[in-house]
Amino acid sequence: MLNALGHTGRVKSPTYTLVEQYQVGGLDLLHFDLYRMHSAEEWESAGFRDEFDGHNVFFIEWPNKAQGLVPPADLEANFEIPAHGRRVTIYANTEMGRQCLERL
């Protein structure tokens, strides 16, 4: 996704940093990996709530780790690895998500 938006640099996994920030395609994009998050207190103390100000776009891996702490996802992408290749299914959960999906 980042490359499709025009990012030419390295894309790092935020597994240990929890978040990586990118400015690409005119967007402020944050990529969260919440696998290592264990409680709402961790989310609050990291200050992540402040990022949800209506100006950022988010990719969130393991969103169930922040259930009830983040707004509902506009789009949801499910990744599968069949015997050959990869399959990604994208679902629109909101009107904004439907509009974005139509543009893809």
Q: pLDDT tens digit string along 66-94?
A: 888 888 899 999 989 999 999 999 999 99
**Are both 53 and 12 inside the same structural domain?**
yes
**Are both 2 and 51 inside the same structural domain?**
yes
Cα 72 to Cα 13, 49, 67, 86: the distances in Å are 23, 13, 9, 26
Give the CATH number for residue 45: 3.40.50.300
Could you identify the residue written with the tokens 């990604």?
88
What's the number of domains the chain is made of? Answer: 2
**Are both 33 and 56 inside the same structural domain?**
yes
**Are both 22 and 53 inside the same structural domain?**
yes
Report pTM.
0.80
**Are both 29 and 5 inside the same structural domain?**
yes
pLDDT of amino acid 98: 94
What is the span of the domain harbouring residue 87? Answer: 72-104
Q: What average pLDDT score do residues 6-13 get? A: 88
pLDDT of amino acid 74: 92
**Are both 76 and 59 inside the same structural domain?**
no
Q: Is the separation of the CB atoms in 74 and 96 below 8 Å? A: yes
Q: pLDDT tens digit string along 15-64?
A: 888 899 999 888 889 999 999 888 888 888 888 888 888 788 899 998 88
